[in-house]
Amino acid sequence: MPERHRIRIPALAAMALAAAACLPGALPALAADTPAPSPAPAADPLAEARGQIKAGRWVAAIDTLKKLNAAGDADWNNLIGYALRKQPQPDLDAAQRHYDAALKINPRHAGALEYSGELALMKGDLPTAEARLATLAQVCSAPCEALDDLKKAVARYKAAGKS
């Protein structure tokens, strides 16, 4: 084939697009075939508090969580309960209220079940800890860190002769 009759593919594509642009409604139809970009995942409003808890900055985590004031959220209640229990001067009653609120919102919340079970052990309430453990066993599928951690805490409690 003589060189003058060869059309390169990019040139052909450009000509097709130019022709389509001349037709009313052609470009919107082409655009409709293009998938819309997926929305960016929402930022975790609890991320800052989670980081403070991971770093052991309990008071800062409590302050951050109080500013968020998401009392209707099980995760928020669980995190503030945990920080209240772990701070230098633990507030066990407030921690209990927050764990109870988390479990009222989501009775299958693994973190709240684990941490409220640990709190029960701190208070010498083995039956409640064992009840939380039984619920966790129903809620969690292996592997389940919350279940494993509470099992170990109950075993340590019993080994210390506190049953």
> Which pLDDT does position 162 carry in this prediction?
75
Q: What is the mean pLDDT of residues 141-155?
A: 94
> Which pLDDT does position 119 carry in this prediction?
98
- Give the tens place of pLDDT for each residue, 17-36: 455 555 555 444 444 455 66
> Which pLDDT does position 141 carry in this prediction?
85
- Give the tens place of pLDDT for each residue, 95-138: 999 999 999 999 999 999 999 999 999 999 999 999 999 999 99
- Give the tens place of pLDDT for each residue, 136-147: 999 998 789 999
- Give the tens place of pLDDT for each residue, 67-104: 999 999 999 999 999 999 999 999 999 999 999 999 99
The pair of structure tokens assigned to 4 is 């003058």
CB-count burial class (<10 Å; 0-12, 13-18, 19+) for 60: middle
- Give the tens place of pLDDT for each residue, 39-77: 666 789 999 999 999 999 999 999 999 999 999 999 999
CB-count burial class (<10 Å; 0-12, 13-18, 19+) for 109: buried
> Which pLDDT does position 35 carry in this prediction?
60
- The top-level CATH class assigned to 47-159 is mainly alpha
Predicted TM-score (pTM) of this structure: 0.73
What are the boundaries of each domain within the chain? 3-32, 47-159
Radius of gyration of the chain (CA): 29
Handedness of CA 71, 75, 79, 81 (dihedral sign): positive
